[in-house]
Structure 1
Amino acid sequence: MKIIHKGLADYAPTFEAMKAFNAARDENTEDELWVVEHPPVFTQGLAGKPEHLLFGSDIPVVQIDRGGQITYHGPGQLVVYTMIDFKRRKKSVRHIVSALENSIIATLAEYGITAAADPKRPGVYIGEQKIASLGLRIKNGSVYHGLALNVNMDLTPFHQINPCGYAGMEMTQIADWVQPCPTLDEVAGKLTAHLSTQLTPKETES
């Protein structure tokens, strides 16, 4: 699995690049993980409802084709897009979601943070606070979009929305639990290692 570090990148062209990659790939295309950090942006998924944007601001809203509702991306948040062949895995969507959640949980455990998934709602939580969001799209037998893990960012824009459609959802980040906070690059290295392990098809699955 190839890991591509894209640095700080605007959301809209990254979204277009994801769609183009997915449309062009074939059964021989190597799977990729795209590691990205975005300037401030709200993204509204296919199930998104306008009322979950509580009030306007100068932060742009981009309509996209992943599942889920509205969320926020901004500097200090680690975003990983999972550009993977779904057919190659012979697994359910739930298996892919669990692989992402388990990778985040394992990464946080390396910093002494106890986190968990919630069977009733996607993402990873520390108690009732959400630290990571998930949103996927499966098209042409391939998966794109991915996950966002809050590392060391300004969380106040989340107050402008109902995060992922949940009113009053409290958000948290690694910096609230670990000081000094690790760098985004350090966390990315740990997370992509876990994702590569969780998402690489085993020989018995091929």
Structure 2
Amino acid sequence: MATTAKKAAPRARRKSHQADEAQLAKLAKRSPYALRLTRHKDLPPPVLIIKERIAPEDRDDIEGLTNPRAKHVERGTLHGDSVRACLPVLKRILEEVKDEQGIPLGLESYMSTQGLKRSDLNFPLDEAAGARLALFFRLQTKVKDVDRIELIGRRVAMFSREEAVYWLSNVTTADPALRSWATSGLRMLLCGEAGDKRVPRILEKVRARG
């Protein structure tokens, strides 16, 4: 009898783990933002994609639609070595995400070497975490230096919800000139220019803050 119980236990754990992920996927469909862990043929793994949920009443493309629904708009990606270099940043932001009862969802547990081997997972994010990650992913685009990418992430993680939402609205505005100015200006403020020899020193100072 004892042997049978031991064999059955792992199956029960697997079912519970799958149910947790199904619940996360369900929550992600209606949360303000969703973070997707996936694979992409043109990008080195792991690949993280963040999307913002636009409510029907906030959409600007519903003319002629009789029953408009919410849609998800991609706000940025992070992939490959950049993900691995920024695991502390990702964990810090994700560990603050809670469900409607205020219980932590434990999303940071997926930000590990083993967790990132998974794919096709969707994580629900609140406005604060979603805006920070969307802003971070947006700003690090085209940055080659991993130290600068980490510095952007760590400093954005310190933003309040209001700061993150404000800056995200600026770097995603419809006007291409204003969007470009906001992106390049904030990027310069957070991590300097490419080749700046002071980046490692500043990064160490920011890391020391935790």
TM-score bin, normalised by smaller chain: under 0.3
Of the two structures, which has the highest relative contact order with CA contacts closer than 8 Å and spacing of 6 or more? Answer: 1
The structure with more radius of gyration: 2
TM-score by length of 1: 0.27
Greater helix share, 1 or 2? Answer: 2
Greater strand share, 1 or 2? Answer: 1
TM-score by length of 2: 0.26
